[in-house]
Amino acid sequence: MARATMYFPDDFTWGTATAAYQVEGESAANDWQRWEQEPGRILNGDTAGKASGWWTDAEQDLDAAAAMGMTAHRMGLAWDRLEPEPGAFDEAAFGRYRQILTYMHTRGIEPMVTLHHFVNPLWLVAMGDFNNEAVVEQFRQFTAKVVAELGDLIPKWITINEPLVYITLRYLDGVFPAPQKSGFSAGMEALRNLLRCHAAAYHEIKQHYPDAQVGVAKQYRPMRPNNRIPGAKWWSKRLSWLFNDAWMDAMTDGQLRWPVGSGVIDGLAGSYDFVGINYYTYSLVHFPPWPGRLVNDNYPDNGLIGDGNYGELYPAGLFEAIKWALRYEKPIYITENGVPDDDDDIRPILILTHLREIWRAVSFNFPIMGYYHWSLVDNFEWERGWTQRFGLIALDPETQKRAMRTSAALYAEVCKTNSISSDMARKYAPSLLATMFPG
């Protein structure tokens, strides 16, 4: 077997990603905190608890990230901590984030900061959150305060994380904290307000920091019909348009399209500097559509599937996502990619095969600027609680003890050498050698 190394561009960014609620612990007055107290909401009755302990000690994992050779990390801010009552900001909470962000800079880790990642302050929920257009002004004011307090430390911003995942899980599947009204049309109303929030935040940031890079983290999911009945392909394309394209198309020309809405949102056109892709797996689309169950998770038996039937590893889907993103003609970051895999037997395969797809894209001169692996450390996995472990670092949430998974060693080699290689495949995922490095 010949030895081969695939190098990435010199300025390629290597990092990991986390979200505030999933890692911080000791959480404040927000809808997830309330939701997880309700019986039956979270698998196993799990609660976030101390989560990964970041509110008191993010530094130990950031030290580990720096030691692995990472140059970036995507983290979230908790709106509920920073603004526990409307218009009343918690200066101590801002101080803690300033400390974490400063620490990242001193460790050579560039922050990318998410403003909204699935969690709302309770006072916002009481006013109907994204089903009340007043949320737009609230989000603008929150963003303005963050810009004023922390903007000097934040070169890259994500306004909203995975808007379509958020709408689907909250308004259609009902597994995220219940909104005041649910269902499809309430979900589309919320989506329009999320777009308005994004546009307001974008301009708020750019007005003070014109060089800041602002985008969203958009999950891309290939959609495949689950049968060959006439119409199945058409339907899966329609669903793909809504899930994958609708948001990006609206951010591009400001225009709302059916079924999201109609007309134009002021300030929305062109309101992003990069495309952030979160990529995990593909979906099989039911045809004819079943109410309440649009896609299924009957992945093939011979595939590599994440814990809890999370999805099949499908690296080609990342290349598809990148090709899709090219149409928006902006730099591209992979803002999340990972797999729940407590035993860490398929994560090394995920890392090498997905980075190979990125390398292919780079070799075509596609503008891929960086990769943020989800995640740095095991964290609270929403309605799936602690049953799925995504970390390069394994965590016991009770004792807060940590252990490096083998994948952490692999990712460290990638970051430090700015490459993937046949030697890495031989060492960490021998089953891949023949397919990744033939001949």
- The residues that touch ligand BGC, with contacts defined as CB under 6 A, are 19, 22, 161-162, 165, 219, 278, 336, 374, 381, 390
d(CA 367, CA 390): 27
Q: Return the sign of the alpha-carbon dihedral for residues 303, 304, 310, 313.
A: negative
User: Residue 13 or 375: which CB sits closer to ligand BGC?
Assistant: 375
d(CA 179, CA 173): 12
At 354, which helix (H) or strand (E)?
A: helix 347-363
> Among 216, 194, 205, which residue's Cα sits nearest to residue 265?
194
Which amino acid is it at 49?
Answer: G
What tokens were used for 103?
């620490």
d(CA 408, CA 112): 21
User: Residue 272 or 390: which CB sits closer to ligand BGC?
Assistant: 390
The nearest distance, CB 280 to ligand BGC, in angstroms, is: 6
The nearest distance, CB 51 to ligand BGC, in angstroms, is: 12
Distances (CA, A) of 345 to 143, 196, 406: 41, 42, 9
Contact 378, 393 (CB under 8 A): yes
User: Residue 20 or 332: which CB sits closer to ligand BGC?
Assistant: 20
The nearest distance, CB 163 to ligand BGC, in angstroms, is: 11
Q: Is 333 in a helix, a strand, or coil?
A: strand
User: Residue 313 or 424: which CB sits closer to ligand BGC?
Assistant: 313
The nearest distance, CB 390 to ligand BGC, in angstroms, is: 6
The nearest distance, CB 375 to ligand BGC, in angstroms, is: 7
User: Residue 381 or 413: which CB sits closer to ligand BGC?
Assistant: 381
The nearest distance, CB 93 to ligand BGC, in angstroms, is: 21
All residues at 6 or more sequence positions from 81 whose CB lies less than 8 Å from its CB, including other chains: 20, 24, 27, 28, 90, 93
User: Residue 265 or 377: which CB sits closer to ligand BGC?
Assistant: 377
